């Protein structure tokens, strides 16, 4: 399996943190030197380990925002 290269371009925010210090974060990340995308996933405190997550383009984030606003009772 090939190594995956990533660079966190911007740390946008933390949604939660568990007892072991892992945090669910929203970041802008460049994967394998590609254009940065929005990324939501769990990270170890040192950002050396990560959990599974979701990567979204700016257009997808806009659509997600519309859906969340539409269902404002969440």
* Backbone φ and ψ of 7, nearest 5°: -140, 120
Q: Give the model's confidence band at 4: pLDDT under 50 very low, under 70 low, under 90 confident, else very high.
A: confident
* pLDDT (mean) for 23-30: 98
pLDDT > 70: what percent of the chain? 97
Sketch out the chain's domains with CATH numbers: 6-70 (2.30.31.70)
Q: Which two tokens stand for residue 5?
A: 């290269």
Q: Give the model's confidence band at 3: pLDDT under 50 very low, under 70 low, under 90 confident, else very high.
A: confident
* pLDDT (mean) for 1-28: 94
Nearest Cα residue to 23 out of 31, 12, 33, 32: 12
What is the model's pTM? 0.88
* Backbone φ and ψ of 41, nearest 5°: -165, 170
8-state DSSP, 46: T
Residue 1 to residue 6: CA distance in whole angstroms: 16
């Amino acid at each position: 399996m090939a190594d995956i290269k990533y660079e966190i371009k911007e740390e946008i925010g933390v949604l939660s943190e568990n007892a072991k210090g892992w945090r669910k974060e929203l970041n802008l990340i460049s994967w394998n030197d590609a254009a940065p995308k929005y990324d939501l996933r769990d990270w170890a405190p040192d950002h050396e380990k990560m959990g599974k997550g979701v990567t979204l383009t700016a257009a997808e984030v806009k659509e997600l925002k519309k859906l969340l606003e539409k269902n404002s009772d969440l």
